[in-house]
Amino acid sequence: MKSLGSHLILELYHCPAALLDDPRHVSQVMTRAVEASGATLIQPFFHQFAPQGVSGVIIISESHFSIHTWPEYGYAALDIFTCGDCIDMHAAAESLRRGFRAGAMQKMMLSRGLLDLPPELIQHKPAAAALRPAET
């Protein structure tokens, strides 16, 4: 059965509070993760909460990356959702782990939109090979 999308749920633990409470740093780390994944960035948005914490989303052509931080616990919850097969979610996860200097990371991958249709009828999702440049 073909799915419409993949959803990677990340939990980062034991991160320095200062990194999780800095919206500029959070934005930079998230943007680097988008780049590491090979996704196409459309629009970022981040918000600083009082007294602490940052939430944000980066809309990508393939769907989105999102985050919410709890600096007081050294914890960040992240989602990477994509409807394409060409995004390297694991490269993104590793980039996020390094960028937030997480002492521990948990990952859970879900298939979203499982449809009982033949793969050729799901047209919105190009095959990875079709998007690669021709080899010479």
pLDDT band at 92 (very low <50, low <70, confident <90, very high): very high
- Average pLDDT of the residues of the chain: 87
Q: Which of 6, 37, 68, 95 is catalytic?
A: 68
Q: Which of 83, 86, 90, 111 is catalytic?
A: 83
Between these two residues, 112 and 107, which has the higher pLDDT value? 107
54-70 average pLDDT score: 96
Between these two residues, 82 and 68, which has the higher pLDDT value? 68
What domains are there in the chain, each with its CATH number?
2-131 (3.60.90.10)
**Predicted TM-score of the model (pTM):** 0.83
Asked if the model's pLDDT at residue 131 lies above 70, the reply is: no
Quick one: tokens of 74?
Answer: 């050294």
Alpha helices in the chain (DSSP H): 17-20, 23-37, 89-99, 128-131
Q: What is the pLDDT of residue 86?
A: 80
Task: Compute the half-sphere exposure of residue 72: CA atoms within 13 Å on the CB side of its CA.
Answer: 5
Cβ burial, residue 60 (10 Å; 0-12/13-18/19+):
buried
Active-site residue flag, 83: yes
Q: Which of 6, 15, 37, 63 is catalytic?
A: 63
Cα dihedral value 27, 33, 34, 37, nearest 10: 180
* Contact predicate 58/89, CB 8 Å: no
DSSP state of 59: E
Asked if the model's pLDDT at residue 135 lies above 50, the reply is: no
Active-site residue flag, 55: no
